[in-house]
């Protein structure tokens, strides 16, 4: 059954602390867009190669925002789409059945392309792993890179983002709430301490109960927050 992807919300509890304001989010996206342009040499005369694929829900929104920003800066539009990693996840049996979401590979496919996977939060790396497996069933890209708005550490797989909006040292018990107007009511990134409920009706992916690996501590791993590197 399609699980409710929203967390229960208590009232009158501690509000979450804001890490990125609406303006910060816009600046961060713009910065990542510039980095992608720089690193991939995307621009007029070199448009055939780049494909931005977001991981639904908020990663797909971010991919579209990045594509818009890249279009604004270069005058040409990169291919953009989404890839749903759900059918490739390794944690399906740990929670209620997950609803499937859109996989939308742009016209022209991904064979031989440079794919930039886009997600909102990177933590264990398991979602990214699932998305990579889903990609490999869709085609054979020339290379795959990873862009995330927030890297909060706690990696469980040898995965590293090529573009990071903000590194946020966290404890496993904390939650990172990413909000984007397309799916929520405003832009922003919040951090929530253990036991506190979201300040607004549950919106962040991190607030999902029992569905996201990113939100779940995994038995037997180190609880120490990692702070590998500054903003890329």
Partner 1 sequence: MKHLLSIADLDAATATGLLDTASRLKDTLLGREVRKLPTLRGRTVVTLFYEDSTRTRVSFEIAGKWMSADTINVSAKGSSVSKGESLRDTSLTISAMGADCVIVRHPASGAAHRIAAWADKDAGTTGTHTSIVNAGDGTHEHPTQALLDAATLRERLGSVAGRRIGIVGDVLHSRVARSNVLLLSTLGAEVVLIAPPTLLPTGVAEWPCRVAHHLDAELPALDAVMMLRVQAERMHGGFFPSAREYSIAYGLDERRLALLPEGTPVLHPGPMVRGMEIAPAVADAPNAAVLAQVRNGVHVRMAVLYHLLAGAPE
Residue numbers at the binding site for partner 1 (CB under 8 A): 1-2, 84, 87-88, 92-103, 133, 137-138
Quote the CA–CA distance of 38 and 32 in Å, as a whole number: 10
Least distance (Å) between residue 136 CB and partner 1: 10
Identify which of residues 54 and 198 has a Cβ nearer to partner 1 in the complex: 54
Identify which of residues 93 and 222 has a Cβ nearer to partner 1 in the complex: 93
Identify which of residues 37 and 55 has a Cβ nearer to partner 1 in the complex: 55
Least distance (Å) between residue 149 CB and partner 1: 25
Quote the CA–CA distance of 59 and 65 in Å, as a whole number: 10
Angle between the N-to-C axes of helices 58-74 and 22-40, in degrees from 0 to 180, rounded to the nearest 10: 60
Identify which of residues 133 and 156 has a Cβ nearer to partner 1 in the complex: 133
Least distance (Å) between residue 154 CB and partner 1: 22
Least distance (Å) between residue 48 CB and partner 1: 20
Identify which of residues 82 and 145 has a Cβ nearer to partner 1 in the complex: 82
Sheet holding 143-151, edge to edge: 79-82, 50-54, 114-122, 143-151, 163-167
User: Residue 25 contacts by C-beta under 8 Å, 6 or more apart in sequence?
Assistant: 149, 180, 187, 188, 189
Quote the CA–CA distance of 139 and 100 in Å, as a whole number: 20
Least distance (Å) between residue 22 CB and partner 1: 32
Residue for token pair 């501690």? 14
Q: Classify strands 175-179 and 163-167 as parallel, antiparallel or unpaired.
A: unpaired
């Amino acid at each position: 059954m399609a699980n409710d992807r929203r967390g229960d919300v208590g009232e009158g509890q501690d509000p979450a602390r804001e890490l990125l304001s609406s303006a910060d989010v816009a600046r961060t996206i713009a910065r990542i867009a510039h980095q992608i342009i720089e690193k991939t040499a995307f621009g007029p005369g070199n448009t055939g190669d780049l494909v931005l694929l977001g991981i639904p829900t908020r990663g797909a929104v971010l991919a579209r925002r990045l594509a818009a920003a890249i279009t604004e800066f270069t005058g040409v539009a990169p291919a953009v789409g989404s890839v749903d990693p759900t059918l490739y996840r390794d944690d399906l049996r740990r929670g209620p059945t997950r609803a499937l979401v859109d996989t939308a590979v742009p016209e022209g496919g991904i064979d031989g392309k440079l794919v930039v996977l886009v997600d909102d939060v990177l933590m264990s790396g398991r979602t990214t792993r699932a998305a990579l497996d889903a990609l490999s069933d869709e085609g054979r890209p020339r290379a795959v890179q990873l862009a995330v708005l927030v890297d909060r550490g706690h990696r469980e797989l040898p995965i590293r983002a090529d573009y990071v909006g903000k590194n946020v040292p966290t404890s496993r018990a904390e939650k990172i709430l990413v909000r984007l107007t397309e799916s929520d009511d405003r832009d922003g990134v919040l951090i929530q301490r253990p036991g506190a409920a979201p300040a607004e009706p549950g919106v962040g992916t991190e607030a999902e109960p029992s569905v996201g690996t990113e939100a779940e501590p995994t038995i037997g791993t180190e609880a120490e927050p990692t702070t590998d590197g500054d903003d890329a």
